[in-house]
Homo-oligomer: A and B are copies of this chain.
Amino acid sequence: MNLTVSTLGSSLGVSCERARYAIGLMAGTSLDGIDAALVRLTGSSDALQAQTLAVHHSPYTPEEREGLLQLIERGRPAELCLWDAYLGERFAQAASELMAQARPPRLDFIGSHGQTIWHAPHGALLGAPVRNTLQIGQPDVIAARLGAPVIADFRTRDMAHGGQGAPLVPIVDWLLLRHPSEHRVALNLGGMANVTVLPANGAPDTIAAFDTGPGNALIDAAVYAYTQGQHTYDRDGYWASRGAVHERLLNYLMSHPYLEQPPPKSTGREVFGEALLEELHRMFGRLQLHELAATFTEFTARSVADALARFVSPHYPIRRVIVSGGGVHNPALMARLQARLPDVSIVSSAQYGIDPDFKEAVAFAVLADRFLQGLPATYPNTTGASRPCLAGKLATP
């Protein structure tokens, strides 16, 4: 049983001795559509380099979004079976549009996360504990349409080995953003804010990753509510930069028990979202949007800084924070973050070849490459798996 998978890539004509052109495909749980990133990869093993060459977002139509919502809630196996093929075509379409736009010299392979339909890290059936996850978007359809191998189903093996199947991005942060002598953090400012801690010269087993609290979710919720849905986010920090922080509200938010909880931990919009916004309205009355936006923006910045101060810097004094996600385009948020972390260099992931708006799509191209090299992508310290695990299944064209 001493099988090795060290050269799957070379079996597919993918050699680490030359550059690989790969597409990463991602569809988030927000059901907004498909992100596609074309990535040029060079080097191998731990000496990998990546450059985002082109990106493309293919939004779901309202009909598709509604259909997927219904599928998740009350779909039958027959419908799931058809949606799997349908989304395979849609993922393939997104990749084809990106190919037409970018015209790379070749396409070596695709990494496709798929659309998550269910994630059950703590399930049980007929009295037996079972954990599993379900992503659809048939890889064989993508492989057939693009004529390239597809690596997909990145979470199931980790869960078969007792892991949570998430997060998957930390190894990508480690591959592309770690430094031999500088302690770093990769910060993603999406709905939530999550960090990957990359100790200087650390091996994969030194990676830690957790959610610090909200990223843009509370700010977005306030803007949406106060503009009656005309705006969905605080573009360029427009409102936040016009308001003052409401100190009593900020103090209340900073006393949230999630912030004290030691990592590993994760949170979501059910904790830091609309429900919390309504609770705050009941407690503090209705404020002005610019006041709320300023306070929530400061809360995000401060909760990130607070998490680093509490849980990270005592062990690894962080010198650089590399930011991705929508929040990187919010100068008010970036300025408040810098103010809270005065001794830290705060830069966009773009400086390291990672389009900050397509980081997850880029990550699945990198994870596919990692799979083809036969190297693990998840570790006991990132997902709780019992051993380092390869991530992915291979569909050939």
Contacts and interface: CB of A to CB of B under 8 A. Distances in A.
Contacts of A1: 106-107, 146-148, 397
Interface stretch (A26-34, A152-160, A177-185, A301-309): A152-160
A206 interface: no
Nearest to A394: B394
Contacts of A157: 140, 143-144, 395-396
Contact of A6 (B11, B78, B81, B159): B11
A67 interface: yes
A148 B117 contact: no
Nearest to A136: B77
A27 to B, nearest CB: 15
Contact of A120 (B14, B82, B139, B147): B82
Given A64-B126, A77-B75, A160 B134 contact: no
Contacts of A397: 1, 3
Interface in A64-104: 64, 67, 71-86, 88-89
A141 interface: yes
Interface residues on A, range: 35 or more
Contacts of A394: 8, 393-394
A88 to B, nearest CB: 7
B393 A78 contact: no
A311 interface: no
A368 to B, nearest CB: 13
B82 A130 contact: yes
A281 to B, nearest CB: 33
A69 to B, nearest CB: 12
Contacts of A8: 8, 11-12, 394, 396
A83 B118 CA distance: 12
Interface in A183-213: none
A125 B5 contact: no
Interface string A115-131: 00111100111101011
Contact of A81 (B7, B134, B393): B134
Q: Which 10 A-B pairs have the closest CB atoms?
A: A85-B132, A144-B160, A81-B134, A140-B157, A85-B130, A394-B394, A140-B156, A81-B118, A1-B147, A11-B11
7 contacts: A63-B126, A81-B120, A81-B123, A82-B125, A138-B160, A140-B153, A390-B396
